[in-house]
Amino acid sequence: MIHASTAGGRCFPNAGNTLRIDTEAEWPRQLDDLGDTRPLGLWVRGRPGLRLWALRSVAVVGARACTEYGAHMAATLAAGLAERGWVVVSGGAYGVDGAAHRGALGAGGATAAVLACGVDRPYPPGHTALLTRIADQGLVLGELPPGDHPTPSRFVLRNRVIAALTRGTVVVEAAHRSGSLVTARAAARLGRHVMGVPGPATSGLSAGVHELLRGEAVLVTDADEITELVGGMGELAPERRGPVLPTDLLEPGTRQVLAALPARGAATAADIARGAGTAPDDAVARLYELRALGYVERHGDDWKLTRQTTISVRGGRDPR
C-alpha cells in the first residue's frame, strides 16, 4: 500500500498529499539493484504509479551552467521521449535538468524530479514554479523526509536513485567533474544503458561527455536513437542517410564509369574503362548512357563531365 502522511515544513501549493512508498505494491523493484545502498523508502508528491512509470523511464541529466545548445538538446530529447510514451527523469536542477523537465511537460508527457532534499522543499528555489508544475502533472520524489535540506553529499546519493530507477541515463553536456557523470557511472555499474550527446570538441562543458563516449557510453543525437537502446524489440531508429541524388539511381557499373571520369579535363574510353575496372566496350556503352542523361559529353575520342555535373555531382549536390 501507499501510506499517506502530513508533510512538515513548506508544501508546494496545490500539489496534493505527500506519500511515502515503502511497501511492495508501489515499490520500483529496480531500486533493489542498489543492494545495501537501496533507499529505505521514498517520499512522493504528485500522481501515484511510480512503479509503472519507472518501468518505462529514461534519465536526462547534465550541466547546471549549460549552454544554449545543451538546453536545446535536453528539451528536444525529452520532448521526443515524452511523445513516444517514455517518462523523463531528472534532478530538478538548473540547466539541463530544468530543460529536460520543461521539454517533457511541453510535449504533454510525463516527467519525474528526484530531489536531494525533502519533497516539500522546492530546491533550487528558482524552480519553485517548475517543481510545482511537475508535482501537479507528474512526480516529485526523494528518499529524505519532508523538511530535510540538501547538502553536497545528498546530491551524490540522489544520483544513484536516478541511475537505478531508469532504463538508461543520457548525459547532455558535462565537464570532467560534473555530478551528472556520477549518475552515468552509477548507471553503468548497475548494467543500465549509458548515453551521451556530443558537443563541440573545444567546449569544456562537453569534455566529460566525450570521455564517457570513449568508454562505456553510446553516442545519441535524438529520441529515436535513445529508444532504440532502452526500448523493446522493434523500436529501431530510422536509417540515417543524406538526400537521394539522381546518381544513386544509376546502375552500379554506370556509377563506377561516371566516378572514373576526371574532375577536370577529358579522358579516353580506354582510360575510363581502366579506372572503372571494366572492359572498353562496356565503358563506351555506359558513357553513351551517361551522355543521354546529361552527365557527360564527348569531345572527339575523349569524354568529360558536363559543366553541370562537375559543379553538382562533385560537390555532393543534386544536379537536378
Sheet of strand 57-62: strand arrangement: 3-5, 18-21, 42-46, 139-142, 111-114, 87-90, 57-62, 168-172, 193-197, 218-219
Residue 224: CB atoms within 10 Å:
17
Peptide bond before 252: cis, by omega within 30 degrees of 0? no
Q: What is the pLDDT of residue 48?
A: 63
Residue 195: CB atoms within 10 Å:
29
CB 111 within 8 A of CB 81: no
Burial of 150 (0-12, 13-18, 19+ CB in 10 A): middle
Distance CA 50, CA 206 (A): 32
Residue 140: CB atoms within 10 Å:
26
Q: What is the pLDDT of residue 26?
A: 82
Residue 142: all three cell numbers together:
526523494
List CB contacts of 236: < 8 A, sequence separation 6 or more.
228
Distance CA 21, CA 158 (A): 16
89-169-102 Cα angle (round to 5): 35
pTM of the complete model: 0.74
Residue with cell 502533472: 137
Residuewise pLDDT in 10s, the chain (320 residues): 233 333 333 334 334 456 666 667 789 999 999 999 999 999 999 876 889 999 999 999 999 999 999 999 999 999 999 999 999 999 999 999 999 999 999 999 999 999 999 999 899 999 999 999 999 999 999 999 998 998 888 999 999 999 999 999 999 999 998 999 999 999 999 999 999 999 999 999 999 999 999 998 999 999 999 999 998 755 666 667 667 677 778 889 999 999 999 988 999 999 999 999 999 999 999 999 999 999 999 999 899 999 887 766 545 544 43
Distance CA 124, CA 314 (A): 54
Q: What is the pLDDT of residue 233?
A: 55
Burial of 173 (0-12, 13-18, 19+ CB in 10 A): buried
**69: closest CA among 224, 208, 205?**
205
Helix (H, G, I), strand (E, B) or coil at 267: strand
Which amino acid is located at 273 in the chain?
A
Distance CA 287, CA 282 (A): 9
Query: What letter does residue 317 receive in the DSSP assignment?
Result: S
Report the Cα 51 to chain-centroid distance in Å. 23
240-85-195 Cα angle (round to 5): 50
